[in-house]
Chains A and B, each alone.
Chain A
Amino acid sequence: MIGGVGMTDAARTRPGLDVDVSLSYGPTRIAAAFAVRPGHPLAIIGPNGAGKSSLLAAVAGLVPLDAGTVSIGDRRVEALPPERRRIGVVFQDYVLFPHLTVRDNVAFAARMRGPRAAARAAAEPWLERYDLIALADRLPSELSGGQRQRAALARALAAEPDVLLLDEPMSALDVEIRGDMRAELATHVREFGGATVLVTHSPADAAMLADQVLVLERGMVTQRGTLDELRAAPATPYVRRMLAASEA
């Protein structure tokens, strides 16, 4: 059973995520190794086409690996199908199920394991937590961008994943509301408390949402550290330009 009350049980020990993989993305070969501790989100940052989203999808099991390992705590998951990895994903522009209400979107994971009524009941605390009660009977097409983001997050976390992956969570939002939404998302990620990886091309996202940063350029890791460490010694022209642009 789901046990909605346990959802942000900080006392519960969350596993970390260890990734050491290589994969192909068109002609680009992506190779990256990183470890994420629970409660210390990692932001993967890099230019368009660097392979950030593919790397994230590979961790979730949505695209095949050429080689490597993905471990969650002491669980090796690289050979498991996505449905058995316990990795939650918030997709770029959210990919909510268009035919289901917000309630049924959030109840989806529970529905896969049990009857509809029980799944809906289990979704209730999550709807409440993410301020979705008033929107519960709406279809995703009737939501604003920010509401969709909350619904997508609730849907992913209601599955009680060990790991949360966020793919460009801000890119589908209007620029004016990004600041507020970023702060709200940061709160939710903290509450989740598990290992979290975020893909973005915005240093502002990384600053607000992550403790550490990994720079991916053309499939290769070119720098890693905190944002401050990157600022102090940018390893590549891209890192320098990116940080300069974000401060301008």
Chain B
Amino acid sequence: MARTATPVTGRLAWPIVAGAVLALAVLVLPLLALVVRAPWADLPALLASSAVLEALALSFGTAILATAICLVLGIPLAALVARAESWATLPRRLLRAAVTVPLVLPPVVGGIALLTLLGRRGVIGEWLDRVFGVTIPFTTGAVVIAQVFVALPFLVFAVEGALRSSDRRTELAAATLGASRWQVFRHVTLPIVAPGVAAGGVLCFTRALGEFGATITFAGSLPGTTRTLPIASYLAMQTDPDEAVALALLLLAVSVVVLLTLRDRWLPGATA
């Protein structure tokens, strides 16, 4: 018995169609332009340069690590945010705002905030430097931290959405069958929201891969250490727009491929 019936698809009114087409054009045309403008003939040479490969490897490595951290931290936070439904209004809104802010904040501002916290003269960073001799900015770790900062909300909201739309009574049923709270989470809650986790992880990864502003502000830009693909692309704009377009195209291709393959593999079917 299906819980939701499929509604008969009516024809959309023309302003809706027109608006949708326009919206799609806004989203797709710039990317199409990138494809059209790409220096296809020189592309292999441009992309095979060691600087590009270095940036690509750094981007992938840091984005994967950032996604892993987001999964470990974001799933519990999503569970808390979903549970906050039953809280009083103010703490609930504060929690939600705290999760949303990095999403709407210009990433550069996020980078500045990270510097004021973890920079050499930062609130925590000063102490880290003095006590442990550890400084975070300009390290690959700083790249990962910046990526986690901007990408975490994507994971939290995807998982929280899945949690909210899941039937919470399955958790109660598990409890009556002898499952402890942790077992309920591990054996029921988490597997049921797995598609949401996968979708969130993919979004999180692509966001981390594309992260620019917070990274360049907090981590700087040194080839092989902190210069990720988006930063390399931005710098290429200074001298060689062709290379910049090539790099942008590479980022676009990676994002599209990741979104397409993972979505197909993870999203449908898991709850069919």
Contacts and interface: CB of A to CB of B under 8 A. Distances in A.
B108 interface: no
Given A95-B167, A95-B169, A95-B170, A89 B187 contact: no
Contact of A97 (B1, B174, B176, B180): B174
Nearest to A139: B272
A217 B179 CA distance: 33
B178 A109 contact: yes
B172 A111 contact: no
Interface in A38-72: 57, 60-62
A179 interface: no
A87 B103 CA distance: 45
A98 to B, nearest CB: 6
A108 B169 contact: no
Nearest to B183: A112
A81 interface: yes
A83 B179 contact: yes
B175 A83 contact: yes
A85 B180 CA distance: 12
A129 interface: no
Interface string B138-180: 0000000000000000000000000000010110111111111
Contact of B176 (A82, A111, A145): A82
A45 B2 CA distance: 28
B192 A109 contact: no
B236 interface: no
B191 interface: yes
B5 to A, nearest CB: 15
A89 B173 contact: yes
A88 B175 contact: no
Contact of B187 (A91, A112, A113, A141): A112
Nearest to A155: B177
Contacts, number: 72
A99 interface: yes
A238 B1 CA distance: 32
Task: Specify the main secondary structure of chain B where it touches its partner.
Answer: helix
A145 B271 CA distance: 18
Interface centre among B170, B174, B176, B272 (most CB of A within 10 A): B176
Contacts of B188: 97
B194 interface: yes
A199 interface: no
B194 A60 contact: no
Nearest to B184: A83
A227 interface: no
A156 interface: yes
Interface centre among A97, A100, A113 (most CB of B within 10 A): A97
A213 B270 CA distance: 43
Given A91-B169, A141-B272, A98 B192 contact: yes
Given A98-B192, A99-B192, A99-B194, A112 B170 contact: no
A111 B173 contact: no
Given A97-B170, A99-B191, A141-B272, A62 B175 contact: yes
Given A99-B194, A112-B187, A141-B272, A62 B172 contact: yes
B175 A111 contact: no
Given A97-B188, A109-B178, A91 B173 contact: yes
16 contacts: A62-B176, A83-B178, A83-B179, A85-B176, A87-B176, A89-B173, A97-B192, A99-B194, A108-B187, A112-B177, A112-B183, A113-B178, A155-B177, A159-B176, A159-B177, A159-B178
Given A62-B175, A95-B172, 12 more contacts: A61-B175, A81-B175, A84-B178, A87-B176, A88-B177, A89-B172, A95-B167, A97-B174, A112-B187, A113-B178, A141-B272, A155-B177
Interface of B: 1, 167, 169-170, 172-180, 183, 187-188, 191-192, 194, 270-272
Interface of A: 57, 60-62, 81-85, 87-89, 91, 95-100, 108-109, 111-113, 141, 145, 155-156, 159, 172
